[in-house]
Amino acid sequence: MRQVDQDLQQTSQDLRESKLELLESEERFRLLVESSTDCAIYMLDPEGKVVKWNDGAERSQGYKAEEILGRNYSVLFAPEDAEAGVPAQELAVAARDGRFETAAWRQRKNGARFWALVTLTAIRGPEGELRGFSKVTRDMTAQRAVEESLRIHNAQLERFRVIVENVADYVIFTLDAKGRFDSWSPGALNILGFTAEEALGREYSLTFTKAEIEAEEPRREIEEAARNGHCATENWQIRKDGSLFWSSGVLTAIKDRAGKVTGYIRVASDMTAQKRLEEAQLGINAELEIRVAERTRELKVLLREVYHRVKNNLQVIQSLLKMRARLLPEGETRVAIDSTVQRIYAMSLAHEHLYRMDDLTHLSLSKYLQDLFRGVEASSSAQPGQIQLQLDTEEIFLTLDHAIPFGLLANELLSNSFKHGFPEGRKGTIKLSVHRLPNSIRMVVKDNGIGLPASFDRAKGASMGLKLATSLAHQLGGSLEFSSDEGCRVQADLARL
């Protein structure tokens, strides 16, 4: 009997200790739940109503305990999920399987959504009866954003890898911060001939020529890329087999967020064919330039010979006409021949000046007019030095097409002054000026001779010289204006020069 009493006392003692341990365990669990602020931990009854709510739930979901206790936990779901019966479905799975886990969007009190990692666990009594559920919800929005960013980044890297591995026409490789190869594309193998195993870990100077290595070109490119962000280059480089190719590409620095260079990437193409073509074209152009220069010299010689022969032929005609004139008595016929001789001289003089010019296409007006004046003086009856020339002209150059009619016009006007302005040995001056205007060239011939006769009428003038001068002025885009003020003045504004 005593033994029975002792056993009963021991059993009672064990029950009291077990109950105390259970209470202590429940208290520790309660303290753990209430002190957890990183997770929303709350209890539901079998129908899904909230019966316990910790500080972490308040922080995460936005509801205070007094706002949520007794309400169905479906208020924590997005409206469309609640209407679709998702809360009840989760409870059913947890009740059936004992546990339900998911990652899904949940909604806070203020309507904001967050990505949640949810664990719903069924709580049962000693007899297996369902007493409710415990729910742990962890806000994984930041982690999801990081994961999404990482996923996108990995997808981009994968696309880049696929692109690089399928580009066989471009050299693509990367260097570490010290300028050593740390990746090598199939295109690099295809163009340079080195395998990845042969290239990785070696210096950037691997494909540079000896001359460029001695000139420290690899180091210069890396330093420029580090300084400016990139370095564009075009140069001869060397393949594994020793052959040269013309490389055109860009070395770009890779920097971290702090701006520190962590490596480099180079993309280049083999432009050897284009380079060879350019060099060949340059050679052809140089040869053509030489041939053109030779042909130009030949043409200049030929053109100079033509001018010289024309001048000589005109001088022969002058001589023949002079010989014939000497056989004629004084009169209009002899005067007409002498005037023709002087006009031929004006034309031959233009050819003479042209073949003396370097380009053979333009003659200098000032020098030509000086020689023309001396020719008119020599053919006139004036004594040497009797009539002085005052030449005022800009440095104007005329082509043969313009020089001949301009020279003939100047010859007629100068001859007219010599013939009519200074009779009986009168001394005087002829001023010849030629200047550019905005849209023409103005020539003025002015003498201080006796001037025009009072009866002078250009419209009624019948002389050959006046008609010819008027026609020449018209050919050069102008007309003659006569005036008499202390001599004779003739002005022509020639718009076609």
Q: Identify the CA nearest to 413 among candidates 349, 486, 473, 496.
A: 473
| C-beta separation of 93 from 121 below 8 A | no
| pLDDT in the model for residue 38 | 60
Domain spanning 380-497, CATH architecture: 2-Layer Sandwich (3.30)
Strands (E), 294-412: 363-364, 387-393, 397-398
| C-beta separation of 115 from 105 below 8 A | yes
> Hey, which CATH number is domain 18-145, 1.10.3980.10, 3.40.50.1400, 3.30.450.20, 2.40.50.140?
3.30.450.20
Amino acid letter, 192: L
| pLDDT in the model for residue 18 | 45
Tokens 């340059």, residue located: 282
| C-beta separation of 77 from 86 below 8 A | yes
- Strands 99-107, 181-184: pairing kind: unpaired
CA 28 to CA 281: how far, in whole Å? 90
CA 99 to CA 11: how far, in whole Å? 36
Which residues face 238 on adjacent strands? Answer: 244
- Chain centroid offset of residue 200 CA: 36
Q: Which DSSP state fits 383?
A: P
| pLDDT in the model for residue 10 | 65
Which residues face 482 on adjacent strands? Answer: 490
Residue 244: how many CB atoms within 10 A of its CB? 11
CA 260 to CA 134: how far, in whole Å? 50
Which residues face 445 on adjacent strands? Answer: 432, 490
Amino acid letter, 74: S
**Sign of torsion, CA 106 107 108 113?**
positive
| pLDDT in the model for residue 394 | 92
**Sign of torsion, CA 54 55 56 62?**
positive
List Cβ neighbours of 433 (8 Å cut-off, separation of 6 or more): 391, 392, 393, 442, 443, 444, 446
pTM of the predicted protein model: 0.49
Find the helix packing angle between 464-475 and 332-356, rounded to 10°.
Answer: 30
Specify the DSSP element, H or E, that contains 50.
strand 50-53
| C-beta separation of 34 from 55 below 8 A | yes
Q: Identify the CA nearest to 247 among candidates 176, 183, 193, 192.
A: 192
CA 487 to CA 479: how far, in whole Å? 20
What residue spans define the domains of the chain?
A: 18-145, 167-270, 272-361, 380-497
CA 372 to CA 367: how far, in whole Å? 9
Give CATH for domain 167-270.
3.30.450.20
- Same CATH fold, 167-270 and 18-145? yes
CA 14 to CA 193: how far, in whole Å? 84
Please, how many CA atoms are within 13 Å of residue 299, restricted to the half-sphere of its CB? 9
Q: Identify the CA nearest to 406 among candidates 489, 487, 495.
A: 495
Structure tokens of 386? 């009797």
Q: Provide block-wise average pLDDT over 10 residues at a time, the chain (497 residues).
A: 58 54 41 54 94 90 92 92 94 94 91 92 90 92 83 69 67 93 91 94 95 95 95 94 94 92 93 90 91 88 89 92 89 89 93 87 91 92 91 92 95 94 93 96 96 80 84 95 92 94
**Sign of torsion, CA 357 358 359 365?**
negative
SS3 call for 145: helix
Please, how many CA atoms are within 13 Å of residue 497, restricted to the half-sphere of its CB? 31
- In which order are the strands placed within the sheet that holds 230-238? 181-184, 170-176, 261-270, 244-255, 230-238
| C-beta separation of 398 from 365 below 8 A | yes
| pLDDT in the model for residue 29 | 40
Tokens 């152009």, residue located: 285
Amino acid letter, 1: M
